[in-house]
Structure 1
Amino acid sequence: MKLWVHFSKNLKYFSIILTMLAFIVSILEVLGISSIVPFLAILADPSVIEDNEFISYLFEKAMYLGIGSYEDFTKVVAVSAISLFIFSILGRAFYNFLTIKFIAGCEYELSVAMFKKYVTSDYEHVIANDSAISKKNILSETFMVSEHAIAPMVTIVSQGLTLFFFLFAILIVNIYVSIIVLLFIIVLALFILLPLSYIVMYLGDRRFKYNELRFKVTNDSLSILKEIKVRGDENYFIDQFSQISSNYRKALSLMRGISIIPRYILEGVAFGSSLVAILFMYLHGTPFSEIIPIVTLYALVGYRAMPALQNIYTSFTAVRSMRGSVRGLLAQLEHQKTNQKVNPVNEKWDIIGSDRVVPTVFFDRVSYNFPESDKTVIEDLTLELKPGQCVGIVGKTGSGKTTLINILMGLFPPSKGSLKYQINDNTYSIDTVPSVKYGYVSQNIVLVDRSLAENVSLTETDENINYERLRICLKISDLTDVVDKLDEGVHTFVGERGVRLSGGQRQRVAIARALYAEPSILVFDEATSALDIETEKVIIDNIRELSSEITIIMIAHRPQSLRICDKIYEMNSGKISLKDAKLVVKND
């Protein structure tokens, strides 16, 4: 199974141990049930102690241990049979406990691997895929695959070993009857069970498809719920979700319904084959005293083997029904490009007087095309960004401003040309440059349902936050007065997506977050669009004081927002040109 390569060595070793334990437990189960046969044979006819070669051998060995009478020997056989049966039950219970632990470990490692793959993927790939499907795969499909694909495979191995040893046991007792049973099973598998499994596999693929659509509709509608309510379009989305959920329910119920049909077929086959076996032995003159122990063995084997056979089939169909889910996970795990370069945190930086690395950045004839697109978004662009410089970028929507920033921050690799970094007369590529941290503030602010302080730090809990650094960041972002009015100050929870704050307050939290991250280069992408003129002026003036320490890039439609910039460039159809900064601001 291709998923196997994504598990840790410890989990792989665990699976080997689990398989070995399944082997031992299966042997114990067969011995426990088989040991009842000599006990019943002795009770039915004590003379078998002398007549039966195997039982006679056991009795001779028992005599060396001081067991000389038939009665004592019968007691020993009974106690041995009970002990083996109890040991097999305890062994099966312990095996099931370890199986549950193993499946939970598989789900954990799959979900972590999926999450890691998503957050380390190239940004180009991230924006090209639906986030709702990624969320579903990380949170839902990893569980489904673990519980309904990996767990059934473990069951197939365990129950398969049990079934094999039981068949081996009845082969020893009566080979002809065993052949009759095997023929029944083979015919059943070829003409009934196998065709049903293909139907279940088809329904499983449909379930996976409709489950993806359910997550997509839910994610899309909740993301724009405000607009939906304003437009009065609730019924449209309710009907859409209802139709998809109905299709999902039909596929799931049919899949599960068809999966249990073989259970009843197997019960009929088991009963019928038992009667045929008894009739076969009777017609061939087998004494009734010998038939009773054998029939008892078959009954006990059937009691344990038939559920095993049912579990094997159910597990087999479950694995096939999860084909779509497994393929979905593998598609993300194996085909996403990843960028494993993570900038380490510089613990010494405290905004004022830091020892950050602030490079000169060169765009050397950079061009960019989106993957699988011939349209050139950035064309033959050359640009120099010096340390401590504040640079403004203007341009119409679609002119390439945000793409330029994505290339600068390493999110998009240039299609042509290169990015170079100069630090202390040394030139580096994007792969070799020492730690250069970016702070990024977008016009689309996303806050999480944590405290305001945790939203600013983002990667630290309330107990680990540097509150002096936090205070400075809040002051620069003009949030001090806002925080003072909150009941719990910086420990106030902001609600999902920051709903307890206004749009302007959320943007200021995002600015504080970018500053707290210790950036060498700070990027504002329409970051003050939700602010009033007065608040924007305060924040811009505060940022101006930082410009000697860090490089600042500002994208804005409001030219007045760029009044602190040393240079202003205009993007037009993927090309860049230098503008007169004073003239741009004056024409506002």
Structure 2
Amino acid sequence: MKQKSILILLLDLFKFLNKKRKLQVFLIFFLAIFSAFAELITIGSLIPFVDLMLEPKRLFNYPLLENLFSFIEINNLEDIMIFMTIIFIFLIIVSTLIKIYIAYFSIAVVHGIGHDLSVSIFKNTIYQPYEFHVNNNSSKTIVNLSRAGASIGILHLIIQSFVSIVLSISIIFILLYIDLKLTIIGGSTLVSFYVLISLFFKRKLFLNSFQISQNEKSRVKNMQESIGGIRETIIGNMYNTFLNNFRKVDWSMNKALIKNALMLILPSNLIMMIATTSLTILIFYKSFGNNSLVNSLPIIAGLILGAQKIIPQLQIVYGSWSKAQGNYKIIEEVLFILNKFKSNIKITKSSLQKMAFNKEIRVKSLSFKHQNSKKNIFENISFVIKKNHIVGISGSTGCGKSTLLDCVIGLLSPTSGSIKIDNIGLNKRNIKNWQKNISHVPQFIYLADLSIQENITFGLENSKIDRKKLIESCKIAEIYEFIKSKKGGFNYIVGEKGGRLSGGQKQRIGIARALYLDKELLILDESTNALDDKTEEKILNNLKKFKKGTTIIHITHKKNLTKYFDSHFSFSKNRFKKLK
């Protein structure tokens, strides 16, 4: 596949901007033209200013200025010089203020665009089907979000480069007026130099962008694995393994960044050397002859100011291009995420109606296999779950119990067969309606670094929390006494991923969270396996006593819990058998 040019990639990225952002970008371009006009006047006014400072009588060489001073009745040469100085300073201040405002407006717009892209990438990622998240490493998601942040810097440079192009063109026009021959020679040399060096570095920058992208992913993955499994890291004394991996990928990424930085600053230093040398030769040449240097000073001053302004602008254009080229893979991956996932996004309203669930869940001839897999995890399974029953499903590890439930609750789509709720088949159109009935407690409970209350009520504002319901849920989950014993009670901070709690405590908080939601279907997916038998039985007794209007599906390895189930199914060697 042919590699797209960086300009095409940036134009593709521009298509994802909303109307407001596009309008703001065009406004920046308009302001750039206005700034260029101000710059034009500033440089153009330098020559008569220097000329008058050297010899006030040369005013008569500028009929326009002579007529202006006659009109405003300023005839004294000293007053004319003061007036010209004030005007020149005023033009410099106005030109600078315009550039400052453009810089401020550009930064605000670019960060607004970066925010929009970050939100789009996060939305496009989080709304993906469950199987997508199962098949993709979370470090990849984190890196993808950081891509939007990197895009901010690139977009800022690109907008700056357009402003610089407009300014450069205006400066070149005034310099052509000052000295046609020198401007053509100098301008051609500058542009040719930047074009040649860009072509020379293009391939190197692209290869570096690929290296930076790959190493950044590996870097984040290494950090996640080492810190995420910190117990294993400490007990297994695996510090050096992770540290060496981190050192290797981080240095590899930084070497590529060093090369890119060098390729970015090299041209400006060479250009300044060439420009300074050329100016020295010009002054030396003009110094021969009667008053040749003195007569040429206004023109030389104009050329110096023009060069002093145009070289940084050309460097910005080159720097923007090299930075964009050096981040080619990042821009490409941002576009990939925005393009690939956009069609899958279906925003659901919070006011979505619940699917009616009054009688039963009927599973018939259900089979499932993962994408790119030839073997079914389970096949031809049929069973019925009555409303308000407590149903147990037991079986050996890896037999497909959790996958079966993922199909029932709509996280996975079965390969064949059907799932019906009160004789209405589940499909893509009504799956979100069905999920409004479900609360799910997984084996491994996710807890945020927040208070116990915040982890149970998850996202609710304090004013909206039902205190009575909160306490009741904790009592059923057998966690209320523990909460009361902690300093701060419900405000006790659990630590990152619940690090300040035991496995059993985390599971009970997870159950309390599900109960607080008060849904019609409660799924316990091996979510009591960290509890002792006595506590587990207390919870099941509580559920049977206090949640009679709730249908409960409990996945477990323990066969001694059959007495708590209205129905009990066994999963073994791809066979699904009713025990009770």
> What's the TM-score, normalizing by structure 1?
0.89
Deviation for aligned residue 1:427: 6.2
**Aligned equivalent of 1:234:** 239
In the alignment, what sits opposite 1:344?
350
Alpha-carbon deviation of 1:133?
1.9
CA-CA distance at 1:109 after TM superposition: 2.1
Aligned match for 1:182, one of 175, 184, 187:
187
Q: Does 1:468 align with 2:475?
A: no
CA spacing shift, 1:186–1:291, aligned 2, 3 Å: same
Residue by residue over 1:502-557, the C-alpha shift from the partner in whole angstroms, topping out at 9 and shown as x without a partner, is 11111000001111223222111111100001100110111223554222111111
Q: Where do residues 473-492 of structure 1 align in structure 2 (5 Å cutoff)?
A: 473-492=473-492
Aligned counterpart, 2:165: 160
Which residue of 244, 254, 258 maps to 1:249?
Answer: 254
238 and 518 in structure 1: CA distance in 2 versus 1, 3 angstrom threshold:
same
* Corresponding residue number in structure 2 for 1:584: none
Counterpart mapping for 1:135-534 below 5 A: 135-138=142-145, 140-147=146-153, 149-275=154-280, 288=293, 290-336=295-341, 338=344, 340=346, 342=348, 344=350, 360-422=360-422, 429-432=427-430, 434=433, 436-534=436-534
Q: Deviations over 1:246-295 (max 9, x none)?
A: 22222222222232111211112222443566688899999655522111
* Pairwise CA distance, 1:110: 2.4
Larger CA deviation: 172-181 vs 123-132: 172-181
Q: Closer, same or farther in 2 for the Cα pair 1:550/1:275, shift >3 Å?
A: same
Looking at structure 1, the residues matched to 85 and 167 of structure 2 have their Cα atoms a distance apart, in angstroms, of 23
Q: Distance in 2 between matches of 1:244 and 1:61?
A: 67
Distance change in 2, residues 1:359/1:298 (3 Å): farther
Q: List per-residue Cα deviations over 1:412-463 (Å, max 9, x = no partner).
A: 12333443333xx766645136453321111112211100000111112445
- Name whichever of 173-182 and 455-464 sits farther off: 455-464
The 2-side partners of 1:284 and 1:517 are apart by: 94
109-118 vs 298-307, greater mean Cα deviation: 109-118
**Which residue identity is paired with 2:231?**
K
* Structure 1 residues 318 and 561: CA distance shift in structure 2, 3 A: farther
CA shift digits 1:377-435 (9 cap, x unpaired): 2324344333212222222223221111111222112333443333xx76664513645
1: distance between equivalents of 2:515 and 2:130? 22
Question: AA paired with 1:22?
Answer: A
1:362–1:384 contact (8 Å) kept in structure 2:
yes
Alignment equivalent of 1:22, drawn from 29, 32, 55: 32
Q: Which residue type is aligned with residue 516 of structure 1?
A: Y
Percentage of matched positions with identical amino acids: 24
Q: Is the 1:401–1:555 contact (alpha carbons within 8 Å) kept by the matching residues of 2?
A: yes
Helix, strand or coil at the partner of 1:271: helix
What amino acid maps onto 1:525 in structure 2? D
Instruction: Evaluate the alpha carbon distance shift between residue 554 and residue 315 of structure 1 in structure 2; reply closer, same or farther with a 3 A threshold.
Output: same
Aligned letter for 1:230?
I
* 1:59 Cα deviation after fit: 2.3
Q: Give the direction of change, closer, same or farther, for the CA distance of 1:103–1:343 in structure 2 (3 Å limit).
A: closer
Which residue number corresponds to residue 7 of structure 2? Answer: none
**In structure 1, how many angstroms separate the alpha carbons of the residues matched to 2:346 and 2:155?**
29
Distance 1:388 1:6, change over 3 A: farther
Is contact 2:571–2:577 with CA below 8 Å preserved after alignment? Answer: no
Taking the aligned partners of 1:399 and 1:502, their CA distance within structure 2 comes to 27
Task: Look up the match of 1:579.
Answer: 578
Q: 1:573 to 1:285 in 2, by over 3 A?
A: farther
CA separation of 1:338 and 1:473: change in aligned 2, threshold 3 A: farther
Residues 562 and 19 of structure 1, relative CA distance in 2, 3 Å threshold: farther
Contact 2:391–2:565 (Cα < 8 Å) also in 1: yes
State whether residues 420 and 429 of structure 1, in contact with CA within 8 Å, keep that contact through their aligned partners in structure 2: no
Shift of 1:240: 1.7
Instruction: Give 3-state SS (helix, strand or coil) of 2:377's partner.
Output: strand
Once the two structures are TM-superposed, the CA of residue 124 in structure 1 deviates from its matched residue by 0.8
> Number of residues paired by the alignment?
567
Distance 2:98 2:536 in 1: 70
Once residues 470 and 345 of structure 1 are traced to their aligned partners in structure 2, the CA distance between those partners, rounded to angstroms, is: 23
Q: For 2:284 and 2:310, how far apart are their aligned partners in 1?
A: 21
1:102 corresponds to: 109
Equivalent residue letter for 1:239: N
Q: Does 2:45 correspond to 1:35?
A: yes
How much does 1:33 deviate? 2.5
Q: 1:521 to 1:117 in 2, by over 3 A?
A: same
Structure 2 residue ranges without an equivalent (≥5)? 1-9
Q: Offset of 1:114 from its aligned partner?
A: 2.2
Is 1:82 aligned to residue 92 of structure 2? no
Q: CA RMSD in A?
A: 2.8
Separation in structure 1 between the aligned mates of residue 325 and residue 503 of structure 2, nearest angstrom: 49
Contact preservation (8 Å) 1:399, 1:573? yes
Q: Which amino acid counterpart does residue 389 of structure 1 have in structure 2?
A: H
Q: Is the 8 A contact 1:536 1:561 kept in 2?
A: no
- Counterpart code for 1:580: L
Judge conservation of contact 1:390–1:554 (CA < 8 Å) in 2.
yes
Give the SS at the match of 2:527: coil
Whether the 8 Å contact between 1:6 and 1:113 is mirrored in structure 2 is no
Choose from 123, 132, 140 the match for 1:116: 123
Task: Provide the secondary structure at the position in 2 that maps to 1:376.
Answer: coil
Q: TM-score, normalised by structure 2?
A: 0.90
Check the 8 A contact 2:448/2:455 in 1, yes or no: yes
Larger mean CA deviation between 435-444 and 479-488 belongs to 435-444
Worse-superposed segment, 489-498 or 112-121? 112-121
Tell me which amino acid in the other structure corresponds to 1:431: R
AA in 1 matched with 2:496? E
Q: Which moved more, 1:355-364 or 1:510-519?
A: 355-364
- Aligned partners of 2:368 and 2:414 also within 8 Å: yes
503-512 or 57-66: bigger deviation: 57-66
Going from structure 1 to structure 2, the CA distance change for 1:165 and 1:393 (only over 3 Å counts) comes to same
Distance 1:441 1:286 in 2: 92
After superposition, the Cα gap between the structure-2 partners of 1:290 and 1:379, relative to the gap in structure 1 and judged at 3 Å, is farther
Residues of 2 paired with 1:318 and 1:311: CA distance?
A: 10
> 1:372 is paired with a residue of what secondary structure?
coil
Q: Which residue identity is paired with 1:255?
A: N
